[in-house]
Amino acid sequence: MSYHDPVLLEECLEGLNINPKGLYVDVTFGGGGHSKAILEQLTTGKLYAFDQDPDTKANLLEHPNLIFIASNFRYIKNHLRLHGAKNIDGILADLGVSSHQFDEGKRGFSIRFNGPLDMRMNPNAGLSAAEVLETYQEQALYDLFRKHTDIKGLRSLVNALLMARANHPLTTTSELRELCGPLAPHGQWHKYLAQVFQGLRMEVNGELEVLEELLYGAIDVLKPGGRLVVMSYHSLEDRIVKNFIREGKASGQTESDLFGVKHLPLKAITRKPITASTQENAINPRATSAKLRVAERTHIEWHRDE
């Protein structure tokens, strides 16, 4: 398999409704698969591609219409402003972890390989997973897994983590696997471990908070009629995207006017999430959990509620 096989490629391109002269943003460049396909449809248009992972620089394309921005996509508004890019025609976000990140044992994302407990998408920023497990207090650890997973019996997990670090810090994925193995329900070892790793990874990278920042930023930079295309891989992300499109905010509901009408910044193009075909799932297992939602920027002026 390549660095990262693009999931739902044709559906993403259709969702973007590409204008060859338009301005587009791929906030998760990764292996460059989606970006390459977008560039092939541009003539005088531009593509701004974001990625905070230094490994992605090996995949950069030599293309006059591509501007690469080595940054977290939560800062989309600021970086586009610095580049003088206004009235964006479309934004694509392929969330989660790339195939390369899972397959590179030294990054610590996968339960399959032994490696350092890192899990940072940008290895040069923030706390690693090992540092989170070493420094978070009991309640913070409990809240971390409650927020990002549906693991049952969290107190047992947290107590095991606290007892383990009292003897020596957990520094490798193998050590974490060995600690969690006895805690997993019968026949659910793989699912349990995947949840533990997912919860840690999402905390390390602030994934839910970063997604919210991206969605608010998208409203500010998209022109009326511009498209927002977001692909998520688990229910927590998909719920945020769905609610944001429906309500224009990450939490709570938007108030209606005197006539009961909600004036929203986004209009759903897809009423239900698009999922991969049986054929694509067979070729690319990562596609099996993908949910794609498409929205269009309305003409409504919108200001974020602080």
Do the strands 291-297 and 266-268 form a parallel or antiparallel pair, or are they unpaired? antiparallel
Rg (CA), the chain: 20
On whether residue 306 sits in a domain, the answer given is no
Structure token digits, residue 54: 């230094």
| 302 domain-assigned | no
145, 119 in Cβ contact below 8 A? no
Spatial separation of the C-alpha atoms in residues 105 and 113, rounded to whole Å: 5
What's the pLDDT at 5?
72
303 assigned to some structural domain = no
- 216 and 80 in a common domain: yes
More confident residue, 252 or 202: 202
| Domain annotation covers residue 1 | no
Which stretches of the chain are DSSP H helices?
Answer: 9-16, 33-39, 76-82, 99-103, 129-135, 138-148, 154-167, 173-180, 189-205, 207-221, 235-247, 278-283
Q: 189-217 b/e with 16+ CB inside 10 Å = b?
A: beebbebbbbbbbbbbbebbebbbbbbbb
More confident call, 60 vs 298: 298
End-of-domain residue from the set 205, 236, 256: 205
Looking up tokens 């905390």 gives 203
For residue 39, what is the domain's CATH number?
Answer: 3.40.50.150
Q: pLDDT tier at 158 (50, 70, 90 boundaries)?
A: very high
* 117 occurs within a structural domain: yes
Query: Would you mind telling me the total number of residues written for the chain in this entry?
Result: 306
Kindly compute the dihedral angle of the four CA atoms of residues 21, 222, 71, 275, in this order, to the nearest 10 degrees.
-90
Residue 169 lies in a domain: yes
Are residues 51 and 17 part of one domain? yes
Characterize the bridge pairing of strands 23-26 and 46-50. parallel
In this prediction, residues 53-66 reach a mean pLDDT of: 87
Residue 263 lies in a domain: yes
161 and 223 share a domain?
no
- The reply to whether 150 and 228 lie within a common domain is no
User: In whole angstroms, what is the distance from residue 186 CA to residue 183 CA?
Assistant: 9
Residue 263, pLDDT score: 84
The rounded distance, in Å, linking the Cα atoms of 80 and 58 is 23
Q: Record the pTM.
A: 0.91
Greater confidence (79 vs 5) lies with 79
Nearest to 202 by CA among 159, 139, 157, 143: 143
Residue linked to tokens 């338009």:
22
Q: Are 82 and 213 found together in one domain?
A: yes
Instruction: Give yes or no: residues 215 and 282 share one domain.
Output: yes
Give tens-digit pLDDT for 251-299.
767 767 766 677 899 999 999 999 999 999 898 888 899 999 999 999 9
Task: Let me know if residue 305 belongs to a domain.
Answer: no
Residues 186, 223, single domain; the answer is no
Q: Order of strands, edge to edge, in the sheet holding 222-232?
A: 66-69, 46-50, 23-26, 88-94, 222-232, 291-297, 266-268
Q: Are residues 71 and 127 in the same domain?
A: no
Q: What is the pLDDT of residue 99?
A: 61
Whether the pLDDT of residue 3 is over 80: the answer is: no
Residue that finishes a domain, picked among 154, 189, 205: 205
Do 23 and 91 fall within a single domain?
yes
Residues 110, 94 share a domain: no
User: 173-180 and 189-205 are packed helices; what angle lies between their axes, rounded to 10 degrees?
Assistant: 130
Q: Which residues constitute the domain of residue 245?
A: 9-99+207-297
Angle at 280 between CA 276 and CA 284, to 5 degrees: 110
- Structurally, the chain folds into a number of domains equal to 2
CA 53/CA 71 separation, integer angstroms: 8
Average pLDDT, the chain: 90
Out of 181, 205, 229, a domain closes at 205
Query: Do both 192 and 127 map to the same domain?
Result: yes
> Is residue 102 scored above 60 in pLDDT?
no
3-state secondary structure of 170: coil
Domain co-membership, 171 together with 222: no
The CATH number of whichever domain residue 196 belongs to comes to: 1.10.150.170
